[in-house]
Amino acid sequence: MLNANPYQQYQQNAVNSATPGELTLQLYNGMVRFIKQGMKAVDENSIENANNYIIRAQNIINYLTETLDTDYEVSNNLISLYDFMSTRLMQANIHKDKSILEEVLGLAEELRDAWGQAVKQTAGKK
């Protein structure tokens, strides 16, 4: 059966063929995208959309937290950072505060960029 939406099929293929590092990068990219969409929704006073986008970003943070391998010290640091980011997103959602979203966006972009560099450096090293 043919998929009616080629973009959806492309996305599914991208997920199915990605390495674990690339999947994590996709999660970071999604978190950044949802925070930006939440900021736009706050600007447009679209309360329901802002809520939905912020919750989606929180869901990604929760997933990243749950899947951390806590055998490494860096994981404990990431858990603290993710907890901070999640708490700030909750506050931003309650108050529809764009400045808090900007704060969390900066952290999310730093994490994404650092992870992207790590993925590039380890590509081909198997």
Q: Which CATH class is domain 19-122?
A: mainly alpha
Region 66-89: what's the mean pLDDT? 95
Whether this prediction's pTM lies above 0.75 is answered by: yes
Query: What is the distance between the alpha carbons of residues 67 and 74, in angstroms, rounded to a whole number?
Result: 13
Inform me whether the pLDDT recorded for 116 exceeds 80. yes
Which pLDDT belongs to residue 7? 61
Nearest to residue 108, comparing CAs of 37, 45, 42? 37
Please state, as a whole number, how many other Cβ atoms lie within 10 Å of the Cβ of residue 98: 17
Spell out the domain ranges in the chain.
19-122
Region 13-36: what's the mean pLDDT? 90
Query: What is the distance between the alpha carbons of residues 9 and 31, in angstroms, rounded to a whole number?
Result: 21
The answer to whether the beta carbons of residues 44 and 28 sit under 8 Å apart is no
Average pLDDT score over the chain? 91
Which pLDDT belongs to residue 6? 76
Tokens read off for 63: 């997933």
Q: Look-up: residue for tokens 């993925």?
A: 119
Region 20-41: what's the mean pLDDT? 97
Amino acid at residue number 121: Q
